[in-house]
Structures are given as structure tokens and as C-alpha cells.
Amino acid sequence: MSSRLRRMRRNESLRKLVRETHVQPSDLIYPIFVREGQTEPEPILSMPGQYRLPINRLSETAKEVEGLGIGALLIFGLPSRKDDGATSCYDPNGVVQQAIREVKKATPNLVVMTDVCVCAYMGHGHCGVLNGQEIDNDATLPLLARMALSHARAGADVVAPSSMMDEQVGAIRTALDTEGLKDTAVMAYSAKFSSAFYGPFREAADSAPSFGDRASYQHDYANPRHARRELLQDIEEGADILMVKPGLAYLDVVLRARELSDLPIAAYAVSGEYSMIKAAAERGWLDEKKIVLETLTAFRRAGADLIITYHAKEASTWLNNS
Ligand code: PBG
């Protein structure tokens, strides 16, 4: 027999030689939660190993992340004040704006990304302005643009709108360009599905909707063609990076996005994915290191250039020592 596939998987040296997919720390993006008005890190119970960080600890985190070779930080803010106008989201001294400056001061070359969404800034916890019980798309756009602008002015390299309002990417791109911030990039949460995998995050960010759910703005998880239309629309509106979220259960969508566009594709291994692995590992049911490296490789194999993961620090340590 001429073809014996086992020949090239006989030992680790041969396997390494012909390995098709690689993961590096620089492919990873580490999401962090920053809470205003506290001085100590606060453990997030549903996400063991993750914390709501005070601003005064960010330089330490940024240096650690940079030292590990991780590609970027993605900042989520928990403001001390919520109101119906989400006014603290565009405050030049808001929690995220302060966090950006703190990280840039400690690590000027570390890429800083910020989440642009109002759900943590308004008491009702929805991702847009309310009009009765409805989420008002067009009333939300100027708010998102204003928030993105203030992040860019504070020094963010990439703003990442996640509220799933139509035309959010275009509104932000136009605002940035008009205000002379042409170099600030936009990472679009394009294929963001309405998902139970976000459960632990909503505890972490204190952003659960107080009534209803997010199904009128996030995608129906049964609809890959609908998600494709939004990917195409975000490309038109000027996105620099496209995102698929959640990750593991949506690798088919990652593959479709890869085939659709030459833009960088990011996949978000969301809070529920992290918590499931942690819970099983705590019980000794799964080998955490092996599972994480296998799943990160799966994201890359499906076509993701970038992976947003709460495991970024641990994974980078493992990758750097392998
Ligand atoms: C805010 C936002 C959410 C996540 C990222 N940005 C929560 C949501 O849409 O309910 C989820 C991230 C995660 O679960 O890790 N709009």
C-alpha cells in the first residue's frame, strides 16, 4: 500500500513537522472587567479565576498580559452610576476611559480594545435606549457613537460595538472619521447570537436585562444566513475585524465568515464556555490545559485569526512553555 497516513503521525517530532494549525499568545485577546469605585479585585463567582478589577490594579494586569505576549486587552466597564441616558458611558472620566489611560500609561504598545454597549450603564440592562418596552435602534446610535468617540479619545486602538443595533458600525465609523480619529479601528460583533452562554457575563458585568430578553436585537441561533447578511452589512459599513460570538457552538459560522471575507475574523469564547470548562476541571472531570488548547486550536482550524478568551493568560503560559 503506497499511502499509509500513520507514517506522519508516528511520533511527536513528525506530527509537529506537518501540523497544519497553530495557536500563539498573540492570537489571543483577554477580556477584563473594570469596576469604578473599588480598591481591591472582586472575584466573579461564576467565572473562577476572573475578577472585577479596580483601576489601580490595571497597570499590573497590563504588564502581565504584555509580558505573556497576549495580542490585546478588551475592556468592559462597570460604572458606579447608571441612568436612563447611560451618561457615564461617554464621560471622559468614566470607568473605561480611565482604564484605557491607565493601561496605555503602563504599556503603550499593548493593543487596547473596548466594548461599546450601554447595557451596563442603564438600570434596565438592555443594549439600547428604551421607548416603552421597545429598544429604539436609531435613538441608540448617537449614544454608541459618542461612547466610541470618547474611548478613542482616551486612547483605545479598537472599539468593539456589541449592542447589535442596525448601522452601529457605520454610525461609529462616521463619528470617528468626522472627529479626526481615522486610525481608530472597529471590531464588529457581527454574528452575535442571542445565547444562554452569556449567563455568567451578565453577573460579572451586572448587565442582565431587567425584563424580557435580547432576542429582538441579537441573532436567532438557528439562522446562519441571517448572520451572513449582517457580516456583509458590517463589511459595507467599514468594519476592520469581524466577530462571531459565542464561539465553540458556532464554528460553522466562523468557517462561513472566513469564506465570506478577507477581513480578520475574531471568535469569542464567551463566559459560559469558560465557566463550563472551569466547573468540569474543578471536579476533575476534564483536563483543563488539554481542553483549552484543543478548543483554541479548533477556533483557528475553523478560520478564526483571533480568539477572545478568558483563558488567555493561562493559555499563553502553557503555549510559552510548550
Ligand atoms: C454586552 C455584551 C455581552 C457580552 C459581551 N458584550 C452580554 C450580552 O450580550 O448579554 C457577553 C460576553 C460573554 O458572555 O463572555 N452587550
Contact in structure between 3 and 20 (CB atoms under 8 Å) = no
Closest CA to 261 of 283, 285, 243: 243
Atom of ligand 1 nearest to the CA of 198: 14
**Residue 265 phi, psi (nearest 5):** -110, 130
122, 143, 198: residue to mutate for ligand 1 pocket, most atoms within 8 A of CB = 198
Counted domains in the chain: 1
* Domain-embedded: residue 249: no
**Full pLDDT tens readout for the chain, 322 residues:** 789 999 999 999 999 999 999 999 999 999 999 999 999 999 999 999 999 999 999 999 999 999 999 999 999 999 999 999 999 999 999 999 999 999 999 999 999 999 999 999 999 999 999 999 899 999 999 999 999 999 999 999 999 999 999 999 999 999 999 999 999 999 999 999 999 999 999 888 888 888 888 998 999 999 999 999 999 999 999 999 999 999 999 999 999 999 999 999 999 999 999 999 999 999 999 999 999 999 999 999 999 999 999 999 999 999 999 8
* Domain-embedded: residue 319: no
* Domain-embedded: residue 279: no
Handedness of CA 40, 43, 44, 48 (dihedral sign): positive
CATH code (residue 34): 3.20.20.70
202 Cα–ligand 1 center, Å: 7
Which residue range(s) make up the domain with 43?
A: 22-240
H or E, element range at 75: strand 72-78
* Domain-embedded: residue 177: yes
* Domain-embedded: residue 278: no
CB-based pocket (< 6 A), ligand 1: 115, 117, 119, 127, 162-163, 198, 201-202, 214, 270-271
Q: Could you tell me the three cell numbers for 185? A: 479601528
Nearest protein CA to atom 5 of ligand 1, as residue: 162
d(CA 232, CA 234): 5
Please state whether beta strands 72-78 and 111-116 pair in parallel, antiparallel, or not at all (unpaired).
Answer: parallel
DSSP string computed for 90-111: G-TTSHHHHHHHHHHHH-TTSE
7 Cα–ligand 1 center, Å: 45
**Helices 288-302 and 271-282, interaxial angle, to 10°?**
150
* Domain-embedded: residue 296: no
Residue type, 152: A
CA distances from 294 to 84, 119, 167, 256 (A): 43, 33, 36, 21
192 Cα–ligand 1 center, Å: 9
* Domain-embedded: residue 70: yes
Residue type, 126: H
Catalytic sites, residue numbers: 192, 245
